[in-house]
Structure 1
Amino acid sequence: MKLASIHRYPVKSTSGHTVARAEVEPWGLAGDRRFLVVDGDGAMLTARKLPRLLACVPELDGDALVLTGPHAPPLRVLPAAAPRTTVRVWRNDVELTDCGDEPAAWLSSLLDRPARLVWLDDPTRRPVNPDYGRADDRVSLADAYPLLLTTTASLSRLDDWIAETAAERGEEPPAPLDMRRFRPSVVVDGVRTPFDEDSWKRIRIGEVDFRVVKGCDRCVLPTVDPVTHVSGKEPTRTLARHRRWDGKVWFGVNLIPDARGTIAQGDPVTVL
């Protein structure tokens, strides 16, 4: 097995981009999900309810964040010391730093509603769910855990199931799903059995070891096309037929790194 691709999302719930190599830190890939968009009242905004967020394409340029979108020229943001605000990030209250009025105006224009950009200046503030992690495990602004792993074999099987669902309903066969719908951190190729990752407990990517702490229960976001931002029924409709338990649908597994290190596209992946 090998590492097929690495994906980084500098701003939570916006578009991501692939990188050839990445530094692994205890709380996730370096530069991953350190920024967040909030509304005028300081509440977290996500593409689950605002798919327009996916039109924002953030990239890192040294210490700066560059925001690109269809509505305005690119904006360069250099985070600095500023007043902090408390934001509820799912089950955690997290102290985040406001990035100022210029990115707020840029994002408000994109979303056609008041919005501000905030930054996690200290990534050690937020613990993972203690039911699945250790007391000192931390996560940036990802939903729950530092990394998400998916496999091409599982996506191929899901595509087959979706085609079967469409045929049963007399619908046109859909195009294969874009893996970006699932917002993985790392994608593994060469897995012989689809969904074999469900049984993994520890893996090594390159020279970095990870704990596989739990499967990933999926929200509505995979039903949003990452290019058109239009919502549909798949893959949730078909996952509910084949991958539903505990009242949820599942695709991918969550990882917690056991050490710092560098991973690169093409690295071997070993189940430990």
Structure 2
Amino acid sequence: MPSRPTVSELTYYPVKGCAGVSVRVAELTPAGLAYDRAFLVVGADGVFRSQRRDPRLALIRPEIGGDGARLTLRAPGFGALELAVDTTSARRDVLLFKTAYRGIDQGEAVAGWLTEVLGAPSRLVRVPPEHDRVTDGLTPGTSAYADSCALHVLSRSSLDLLHRQLAERGAAPLPMDRFRPNIVVDGWDEPHTEDRARRIAIGDTELGYAKLAVRCAVTTVEQSSGARTGPEPLRSLAGYRRTAEGVVFGAKFAVLRPGKLSVGDEVAVSTWGEPEG
């Protein structure tokens, strides 16, 4: 491990539930990494689609271009779809965990493409510029269509400990992408140090701890194939990471100061607290 804690991975997820985009440098906005969960796939009823029920979302690989003005979607066995991002059309209602938000429908072409890939009627919406969601936790903030808070932070040492737990059960190690973090920290020797960090400075930015990340069935989906793989890692995590809220792994943070951050930046914790749960 490096001699000091640093950022080892930065990933944003333009379309909620779809594949992530790994970058070396990112702009951090009040709502998280630029373009993170800016788009949402919904059913005909406006309810969001998730890998919980639609694991094939993992096969869709988005790319953002033109400073957010263009979106390209690719999936194995399907032609690429490119569209100009619409930020001005009429808003429609969407539901994310039974909470009502608004979205800008991106049209029939991408709706047809998603319906074919996922095998179920689907549409794509973009978060509107006036989106004013307030997220919960110890430090309130905002986010686009993320499950809750703007950023998910996970340390390499936490995953290393999980690998030891998996090995005891005869299970294979899992890649970091099973947990879909935005920021991976290397150099924290103690697993789950992210649970105790209350204020973190990275590059030009500052983050405030919100809450632990409760894990769900998405962690059982192999991100490269879109296939469910069985009870792991939830089975092993339940043995040592169960709280009153559920099985937890990683932590959620709000943005206190936007700016630029990069892979290799030092992760400096200015305030510590006791782990929740």
Scaled by the length of structure 1, what TM-score is found? Answer: 0.93
| CA shift digits 1:12-57 (9 cap, x unpaired) | 0111120111100001111111100011222111111110111110
Q: Is the 8 A contact 1:6 1:19 kept in 2?
A: yes
Where does residue 274 of structure 2 map in the other structure?
none
- Distance in 2 separating the partners of 1:90 and 1:234: 24
Q: Indicate how the Cα distance of structure 1 residues 123 and 35 shifts in structure 2: closer, same or farther if over 3 A, else same.
A: farther
Where does residue 60 of structure 1 map in the other structure?
64
- Structure 2 gap segments, 5+ residues each: 271-277
Where does residue 186 of structure 2 map in the other structure?
189
Q: C-alpha displacement at 1:75, in angstroms?
A: 0.9
Q: C-alpha displacement at 1:230, in angstroms?
A: 2.1
- Structure 1 gap segments, 5+ residues each: 167-172
| CA shift digits 1:142-185 (9 cap, x unpaired) | 0000000001011001000011122xxxxxx41x2111010100
Q: C-alpha displacement at 1:84, in angstroms?
A: 1.2
The alignment partner of 2:188 has SS state of: coil
Aligned partner of 1:253 among 210, 230, 251: 251
Where does residue 41 of structure 1 map in the other structure?
45
Q: C-alpha displacement at 1:2, in angstroms?
A: 0.3
Where does residue 79 of structure 1 map in the other structure?
85
Scaled by the length of structure 2, what TM-score is found? Answer: 0.91
The alignment partner of 1:201 has SS state of: strand
| CA shift digits 1:179-204 (9 cap, x unpaired) | 10101000000111111221111111
Where does residue 170 of structure 1 map in the other structure?
none
- Distance in 1 separating the partners of 2:122 and 2:130: 22
Where does residue 75 of structure 2 map in the other structure?
69
- Distance in 2 separating the partners of 1:151 and 1:42: 35
Q: C-alpha displacement at 1:7, in angstroms?
A: 0.4
The alignment partner of 1:74 has SS state of: strand
Letter in 2 for 1:107: L
Structural mapping, 1:33-182, within 5 Å: 33-62=37-66, 63-80=69-86, 81-122=88-129, 124-129=131-136, 131-134=137-140, 137-166=141-170, 173-174=171-172, 176-182=173-179
Q: Is the 8 A contact 1:94 1:125 kept in 2?
A: no
Structural mapping, 1:202-213, within 5 Å: 202-213=199-210
Letter in 1 for 2:104: T
Count of residues in correspondence between the two structures = 262
Aligned partner of 1:3 among 7, 19, 39: 7
- Distance in 2 separating the partners of 1:43 and 1:109: 18
